[in-house]
Amino acid sequence: MTTETAGADGPVVYVVDDDKGIRQALDMLLRSVGLRVETFESPDEFLRSPSSTGPSCLILDVRLRGKSGMAFHQEIANRGMRIPVVFMTGHGDIEMGVKAMKAGALDFLAKPFKDQDMLDAVAQALARDSERLAAEAALAGLRALYESLSPREKEVMAFVLSGLLNKQIAAEMNLSEITVKVHRGQMMRKMKARSMPDLVRKAESLGIQPPLHDGGHH
């Protein structure tokens, strides 16, 4: 098994630090627990490298040559990269730590840090990223289910979500109640909705709002 195939979607830890000693130490530490590691001397080098599709996290020094780690963190966020960041500082700079956490960093470790603290921070960051990727994949799957509905099934779904009964939907859509039942059954099956609450939850995840109706048919 080559590393290429093994690590394609497995977790990967990126390290950006201009101190070679720190890069090597982190590389050895993280590899010792079986993690895939990629180290970079500068933020630009990191940005030029292809990013992993699997769970990942970034260990970043607060002070980097030519650019602060904080500014780089902001740049990553601006690019829409949602990678969890663990900051390190060699200056015990608590103020920087507070700023980093406020800016959305996941953890903040002063050098020299305990190996276990770093491993714990990385494990937490990778777990967080795995959850995010799983949630994004689930949402993409849900979107695909919704897109598989016919226009009429989508319409029935909207009426069902707004709490109308089959006979009210039939009146709204000028269809027979039997036809509405069939469309409703198809829609529930295609949406893989086990129940009404399940359908509502899925619609909420997709951001689908039920249409508002005048009370005429209620």
pLDDT of residue 153: 97
Domain chopping of the chain, boundaries: 3-137, 148-217
Along the 218 residues of the chain, how does pLDDT read in single tens digits? 333 333 446 899 999 998 999 999 999 999 999 999 999 999 999 999 888 889 999 999 887 777 788 888 888 888 888 899 998 887 656 677 777 777 777 888 888 889 999 999 999 999 999 999 999 999 999 999 999 999 999 999 999 999 999 999 999 999 999 999 999 999 999 999 999 999 999 999 999 876 665 544 44
Domains 3-137 and 148-217 share a fold: no
3-state secondary structure 162-189: CCCCHHHHHHHHCCCHHHHHHHHHHHHH
pLDDT of residue 51: 80
Options 3.40.190.290, 3.50.50.60, 3.40.50.300, 3.40.50.2300; CATH for 3-137 is: 3.40.50.2300
Give the residues across from 86 on adjacent strands. 59, 107
Task: Tell me the C-alpha distance between 101 and 9, whole Å.
Answer: 28
pLDDT of residue 197: 94
Q: What is the CATH number of domain 148-217?
A: 1.10.10.10
3-state secondary structure the chain: CCHHHHHCCCCEEEEECCCHHHHHHHHHHHHHCCCEEEEECCHHHHHHCCCCCCCEEEEEECEECCEEHHHHHHHHHHCCCCCCEEEEECCCCHHHHHHHHHCCCCEEEECCCCHHHHHHHHHHHHHHHHHHHHHHHHHHHHHHHHHCCCHHHHHHHHHHHCCCCHHHHHHHHCCCHHHHHHHHHHHHHHCCCCCHHHHHHHHHHHCCCCCCCCHHHC
What is the pTM for the complete model shown?
Answer: 0.75
